[in-house]
Amino acid sequence: MNNEVEIKSDETKSAFKKANIYMSYRPRSESEVENKLSLMFNKNVVNSVVNRLKKEKLLDDLRFAKLWVTSRNISNQKSENFIRYELEQKGISNEYINIALSEVDNNENAYKAGFKKIRSLSNLPEKMIEKKLEDFLKRKGFNISTTRTAIKKLIEENV
């Protein structure tokens, strides 16, 4: 019996170490860590490690969601719906997603994304620029009205 406890303790230590290594590359959601650890360890060990990580504030889905949204706003300017989908795939609750997305401005993100893209299209005719920008912004998840508003503003500024 005592030997069994030591094995579990060693297994838990190993799982905790693996989780820390996994989380060292980038912030992770609780679901991501659970999924990763469940490939190598039993459910009790996984639950124990996840609970310890949460208790030590190393794993926090709300903080993760806010970091994810900030990252998407700064680097890729994705739409709110696109970011929502990504967070859902990472196992974040709707409550945390709504809190994290509360400051996302789709119009501003579409404009910023289009502003970066339009520089590479400057040698094309205006109609072609509009079409390429529209396709580009749609791929980033922006709806048609947001896309058209951003394109109109970008074309006016670039003329």
Statement to judge: residues 70 and 118 lie in one domain: no
- Rounded Cα–Cα distance for residues 89 and 87 (Å): 5
Domain shared by 152 and 115, yes or no: yes
Find the CATH number of the domain harbouring 47: 1.10.10.10
Give the number of domains in the chain: 3
pLDDT the model gives residue 8:
56
Return the H-helix or E-strand segment holding 90: none
Residues 92 and 118 in one domain: no
Do 47 and 96 belong to one domain?
no
Residue 76 and residue 50 share a domain: no
pLDDT at position 72 is 87
Residue 7: per-residue pLDDT? 42
Task: Give me the domain span that covers residue 35.
Answer: 2-59
Same domain assignment for residues 6 and 55: yes
Instruction: Please tell me whether residues 123 and 96 are part of one structural domain.
Output: no
Residue linked to tokens 């109609």 = 127
Cα–Cα distance measured from residue 159 to residue 157, given in angstroms and rounded to the nearest whole number: 6
Same domain, 55 and 8: yes
Q: What is the pTM of this model?
A: 0.82
* Domain-ending residue, one of 44, 59, 74: 59
Q: Are residues 42 and 12 in the same domain?
A: yes
Number of Cβ within a 10 Å radius of residue 82: 18
pLDDT, position 52 = 93
Q: How far apart, in whole angstroms, are the C-alpha atoms of residue 66 and residue 101?
A: 8
Residues 96 and 113 in one domain: no
Counting as low any pLDDT under 50, the low residues of the chain are: 1-7
Looking at residue 141, the DSSP 8-state letter turns out to be T
pLDDT of residue 85: 95
